[in-house]
Structure formats: C-alpha cells, structure tokens
Amino acid sequence: ATTDHLSPTCEGEPRIGASGPAASKRFGGYELLGEIARGGMGVVYRARQLSLNRTVALKMIRAARLATPSDVARFVGEAEAAAQLDHPHIVPIYEIGVEEGQHFFSMRLIEGNSLDREVQRFRGDGTRIARLVETVARAVHHAHQRGILHRDLKPGNVLLDAEGQPNITDFGLAQRIEGASGVRQAGAIVGTPSYMAPEQARAEKGLSVAVDVYALGAILYELLTGQPPFKARTPLDT
C-alpha cells in the first residue's frame, strides 16, 4: 500500500492523526497506526492486529453511517472475492468483520508503491516489463480459474512490494463468472475508462474474462509508452 497525505476524516470513521504511538487508536482487535490511502468508498489504515502482533492494512467503508446497502454489499463482496483466492501475487485477506456497525477487513500490508507511481521507472526495459505483466497475468488467470472477474485492473490496483514484485488488490468491482459466456451485470458502466474494454464501456450485460485480458494489454501499453492507450480530457470523453 502507498502512503498519502492525511485527508479530513468523514463522519463515522475512526479519527486518528499522523502516524505514531501518540496518534494510535483501538478499533476492535486492532490498533490504528495511521492512514495509508483513501478512495471514493473506502479508507485504508496501517494497523497492528493485537492478537497476532502483526502489522496489517485495515480497510473500512468511508462515512459508515451514510453507507447504503449497495455500498456495504460491494465492500463485503470485495473482501469475499479476494478471500477466495490464494496466490502469491494477490493481496490476501486476513479477516472480515463488523465492529459497532463499521464494516472492515484486514489484509497483508504491502510496503511499497502502486504501479501507477512507478510507470516511468520501467520505460525502456522491455524484458522487465514483460516479466512483470506475465506475473500479473498469471495471478489474474488464477482468479479466472476460480470464477472471479476483477473488472478494474489498472496500474493503481497493482502494488509493488519491497522486492518489486506485483500484487493485485482492490476487488471492489469483482464479479462471479457464470459459465463460459460471462457474468451478469445491471447495465451500469463500471471500471476505469482508460483500461476498460469496449464491451465494458458499453455496459453490456454479459462480460467475459476478455475484459481483464484487455486491461492487462492496456497496462502493458502504458508501461511501454508511459501513457494509457486512451486518455482524453474527461473520463466521459475517454
């Protein structure tokens, strides 16, 4: 996971300050040590799991009191999808739970940057790029074999550990694969525009593993050229 500047906390979130013992706060069986990152729905903390005395990444829903049932379903679905996968290059889930109405799950803490922050370091090294994308592709294949479609593969969801090895995270848009034809979908556009296959951008109701393969190609393209294959002024233009 990557370290970002702390942002103001939302209602329903644990309130902690800068990292360090003086700023720590208990949350269930965890001691919160500092905020790592946050997105549109979740916030991730560095935490110490007290029962095992190990440092983990702890993810919670932002503004839990305002979370809708669909928000909770997506959050829990992310944890459950990742928990079904046991692969050295997929971030493992340790625990899923609810504490005083706050949904959370803990996972392995990756000490390093996300791939989107390291793209320029790969430029010109085709062999290194090919090996990294091969590693990610094999991890994605592992998920596909177990009926999980990621649907949001992108450099920001690939974490590089201290050895530079990639680890796939954020299964928030994952869905079960239903047979060879794909997965059912409500018709809403989900994903990240620069890495979405055309059928995903069209919000087609049946998606296959091809959408993840397309995203892998887009990641490869960006590593080779320094920019995604398609990127316009706004997400809608893209």
List the catalytic residues: 152
- In terms of residues, how long is the chain? 238
Strands 54-61 and 30-38: unpaired
Residue 222's nearest CA partner among 136, 151, 155 is 155
> Which residues are CB-contacts of 31 (< 8 A; sequence separation ≥ 6)?
24, 25, 47, 48, 50
